[in-house]
């Protein structure tokens, strides 16, 4: 039998001397080769829907740095688009979508299983990658978690406080709940198809989970994640799931147990020593170097990599940043991070 990939061993609960490593947004604008391929594709969305070029940009950081995992190149906002929302990207600003603010807006959405029609090129990218990736590199598929996707579908853009989503949730709960359910079903369909196409792990990005407090966190972050994981495990019992309830704070404690996640990804606001005691006790954790170190580098980067590695050395750990690498990062600092981790 082929040796198990490092990422899969950590996700199965193995404590390793050197943890496997990958990086959120590892294919991105800090790499000149990414910018060249994006220009060849025309724009960001054309790149997402071009399987050959999307596979190419997924492979670029693997070739350059030798990460232990590749993450499918796509975007969490392709699901709203596949459900019928208009989606475009404004260069230098970010995503824009048509918004859902009432029952009529919700009623115009397509059913969950309609997503396959629009998203089939993404499954093709996964197929190409599962053929072309080096045999020791694991392939991660992903989707946005329902709350985070709903924040974009209600606001039509990124927002500092997710106010439009909170307004619909508090002002018209039946419509908000129907929207959450539709996204949940579509996400199950989409991730299940990614696994069928060759994704070995899937990750749920709940980037705005931190704006949900108390019962709302349970209802709109924890519960949809639990539902998606239960449905995926029923169809694909051996595929591990990474959950990322970003900025959950104290609510990271017990999240893996409550949702069935095989690994919980930690943002950089969480102290690694605290997380080792309170979160890693339940299983694998991922994280959590501040992405700013990829810009500033030097001794502080080296010290932080060593500190995080040591803090999580008593249990299963996947080394990563606490959030995505930014376009102003220096690729040399990524190399320094890996060299320090693996020394
Ligand atoms: O390398 C990878 O991590 C895989 C690909 C990936 C992208 N987006 C590509 C991308 C993944 C996993 C995502 C997830 C994603 N997309 C999230 C969750 C993670 C997070 O960052 O919190 C969110 C919230 C989105 C929505 C989104 N897509 C925003 C807000 C933006 C604009 C901000 C920005 O960085 O420009 C995007 C665009 C985007 N998605 C880019 C990339 C490489 C940059 C687009 C470009 O090339 O111009």
Residue 255 lies in a domain: yes
- Domain of 259: which CATH number? 3.20.20.210
CA of 27 to the centre of ligand 1 (A): 10
157 in catalytic set:
no
Residue 146 lies in a domain: yes
CA of 2 to the centre of ligand 1 (A): 33
Residue 116 lies in a domain: yes
CA of 77 to the centre of ligand 1 (A): 9
Closest atom of ligand 1 to 72 CA is: 4
Q: What is the predicted pLDDT for the residue at 154?
A: 98
Mean predicted lDDT score pLDDT of the chain:
97
Q: What is the predicted pLDDT for the residue at 49?
A: 98
Among 24, 25, 95, say which to mutate for ligand 1: greatest number of ligand atoms within 8 Å of CB: 25
**Tens digits of residue pLDDT in 299-327:** 999 999 999 999 999 999 999 999 999 99
Residue with tokens 């704070």: 249
Residue 311 lies in a domain: yes
**Are 150 and 165 contacting, i.e. CB atoms less than 8 angstroms apart?**
yes
pTM of the model: 0.97
Residue 167 lies in a domain: yes
Residue 128 lies in a domain: yes
CA of 44 to the centre of ligand 1 (A): 10
Q: Which of 38, 182, 252, 262 is catalytic?
A: 38
Q: What is the predicted pLDDT for the residue at 3?
A: 81
By alpha-carbon position, which residue is closest to atom 22 of ligand 1? 207
Residue range of the domain that includes 206: 6-342
Residue 1 lies in a domain: no
- In percent, the amount of the chain with pLDDT more than 70 equals 99
Which stretches in the chain have pLDDT values below 70? 1-2
Q: What is the predicted pLDDT for the residue at 195?
A: 98
Residue 220 lies in a domain: yes
Domain tally for the chain?
A: 1
């Amino acid at each position: 039998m082929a040796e198990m990939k490092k990422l899969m061993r950590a996700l199965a609960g193995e404590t390793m001397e050197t943890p496997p490593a990958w990086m959120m947004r590892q294919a991105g604008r800090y790499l000149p080769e990414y910018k060249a391929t994006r220009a060849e594709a025309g724009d960001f969305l054309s790149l997402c829907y071009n399987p050959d070029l999307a596979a190419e940009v997924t492979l670029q950081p693997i070739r350059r740095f030798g990460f232990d995992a590749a993450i499918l190149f796509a975007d969490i906002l392709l699901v709203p688009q596949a459900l019928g929302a208009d989606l475009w990207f404004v260069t230098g600003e970010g995503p824009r979508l048509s918004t859902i603010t009432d029952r009529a807006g919700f009623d115009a959405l397509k059913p969950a299983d309609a997503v396959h029609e629009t998203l089939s090129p993404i499954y093709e990218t996964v197929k190409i990658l599962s053929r072309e990736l080096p045999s020791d590199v694991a392939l991660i598929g992903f989707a946005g978690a329902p709350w985070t996707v709903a924040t974009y579908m209600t606001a039509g853009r990124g927002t500092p406080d997710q106010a439009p989503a909170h307004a619909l949730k508090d002002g018209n709960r039946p419509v908000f709940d129907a929207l959450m359910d539709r996204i949940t079903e579509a996400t199950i369909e989409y991730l299940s198809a990614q696994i069928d196409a060759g994704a070995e792990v899937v990750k749920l990005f709940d980037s705005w989970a931190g704006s949900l407090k108390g019962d709302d966190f349970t209802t709109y972050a924890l519960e949809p994640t639990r539902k998606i994981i239960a449905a995926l495990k029923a169809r694909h019992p051996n595929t591990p799931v990474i959950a990322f309830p970003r900025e959950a704070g104290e609510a990271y404690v017990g999240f893996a147990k409550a949702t069935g996640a095989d690994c919980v990804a930690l943002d950089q606001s969480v102290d690694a020593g605290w997380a080792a005691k309170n979160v890693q006790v339940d299983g694998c954790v991922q994280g959590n170097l501040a992405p700013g170190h990829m810009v500033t580098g030097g001794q502080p980067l080296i010290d932080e990599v060593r500190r995080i590695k040591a803090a999580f050395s008593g249990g299963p750990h996947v080394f990563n940043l606490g959030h995505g690498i930014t376009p102003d990062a220096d690729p040399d600092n990524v190399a320094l991070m890996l060299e320090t981790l693996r020394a």
